[in-house]
Amino acid sequence: MSQNSESFEQWMSREAKAEAMIPIVGRLYRDNNVVTSIHGRSLINKSTMQILKAHRFARRISQRELTLEDTLPLVEAIDRLELGAAAVDLALLNEKYHDTAAGRPLEEFLREELAPVVGRQGADDRTSQDVVLYGFGRIGRLLARILVEKHGGGQGLRLRAIVVRKGSDNDLAKRASLLRRDSVHGPFEGTIQVDEESQTITVNGIRIQVIYSDSPSTVDYTAYGIENALVVDNTGRWRDAEGLSQHLQSKGAARVLLTAPGKGDLKNIVHGINHGVISDEDMIVSAASCTTNAITPVLKAINDKFGVLHGHVETVHSFTNDQNLIDNFHKGDRRGRSAALNMVITETGAAKAVAKALPELAGKLTGNAIRVPTPDVSMAILNLNLENGTTKDEVNEYLRELSLHSGLRKQIDFIDSPEVVSTDFVGSRRTGIVDGLATIANDKNLVLYVWYDNEFGYSCQVVRVMEEMAGVNPPAFPAA
């Protein structure tokens, strides 16, 4: 057999194994509320080719080959264990098996590792939480996509309604069209139906009420069967407790989450860093900004190991809706100049906002931003002076390990490809991706380059905060 024939035969074998995984992954999700992933990348509703690419991507992350010969037996054995609701990372589970239990029967290892949910056959101890999206712009629509994807058996976060101001007679159809088609993130994976009579959009079988209102305080959510709702304000119109508390005057609204930096005494939450400070008494919480979410986990990691004396954060940020497409009046400095034609220096509060989530860095960081003519994905350049010296290899290995085996693995990603550019990170679910080849370390001077999808990556963080507020996280395996 020629090398070409042998290579093709191997490919066909891998393809067949990926095809065999699809119904098992789907059955685990539908019948058991089990979400399977590879290094945090969900396998739910993925095609054969997407599953193959996820396995290939794992090699970039862990420098260890992840094969279908590893994962297919894993999901088959998991399927036989009749699990209750859980989130299972196949790549991490496979690594743990080979590192700590090689030689033991696979199913014996899995019974022990997944013991809390074995034999519970779809049992889900989580309560459901009604969610309302107040506003349906860039972040609102991405939140809707993620919430629909995570709907599962209906427990956990349940998207019940969106609230917008009516823009035209065919407003409902236009809202649905914007959800269906996205110039940056691509088409929605699923079906969308519009019912003008009931003013609803049904997305993959999930019926979402569209409510028109000009005020956050006058909506009666209970009229639509919505109770104790978590209202996610993604308009950015109100940033303080006084403005956001208007939501709590509406019947059926219980708590509020702001998808922007909060002002005053509002808790600014970066999931993975300070989500543990959310209490049942917090009626209004902020999910901070996209940049704050991107840089805080990396800064914490560096500060914990090397100590940060002071530093400067420069963000190269994609333009946003508050800028003008062509030159026109804008109340902000420089933002009136064409976003599509210019690099625009502007201020950012992200560096100072880090201290709200990470008080030990208070007063140690300065920051600035340059808006550039790209629609999505940004970069933060962290120029840091350290207490303890280090090398490029040491820093990179440390951050790579954190991206795989730490409590920050949902936030920090790591890559060392010499060919990646910004569009390669569209859709990243991590909040910050360290570009290892760009790292500069000169003893106590360290420069890190951190990519981030300022839309989707941030939206994933928002959903994590929502799950924390609602207390609806499923148990995750293997434990960090």
C-beta of residue 33 within 8 angstroms of C-beta of residue 124: yes
Architecture of domain 290-454: 2-Layer Sandwich (3.30)
Euclidean distance between CA atoms 307 and 316, whole angstroms: 25
Q: Which of 172, 290, 316, 399 is catalytic?
A: 290
pTM passes above 0.85: yes
- Determine contact, residues 85/28, Cβ cutoff 8 Å: no
Residue 345 has pLDDT above 80, yes or no: yes
Predicted pLDDT of residue 60: 67
How many angstroms separate the CA atoms of 89 and 87, rounded?
A: 7
Q: Can you tell me which residue has the tokens 């992840």?
A: 66
Angle of helix 90-100 relative to helix 48-62, nearest 10 degrees?
A: 50
CA distance 456 to 138: 9
Q: Judge whether 434 and 379 are in contact, CB under 8 Å.
A: no
Domain 129-259 in CATH 3.40.50.720? The answer is yes
Whether the link from the prior residue into 418 is cis, omega within 30° of 0, is no
Mode of pairing for the β-strands spanning 412-415 and 378-390: unpaired
Domain boundaries, the chain: 3-114, 129-259, 290-454
Convert the pLDDT of each residue in 416-473 to its tens digit.
999 999 999 999 999 999 999 999 999 999 999 999 999 999 999 999 999 999 988 8
Query: Alpha carbon of 4 to those of 11, 14, 120, 196: distances in Å?
Result: 11, 15, 47, 56
* pLDDT, average across residues 253-268: 94
Q: Name the residue with tokens 């209004």.
A: 284
Q: Is 460 a catalytic residue?
A: no
pLDDT in tens, 312-329: 999 999 999 889 999 999
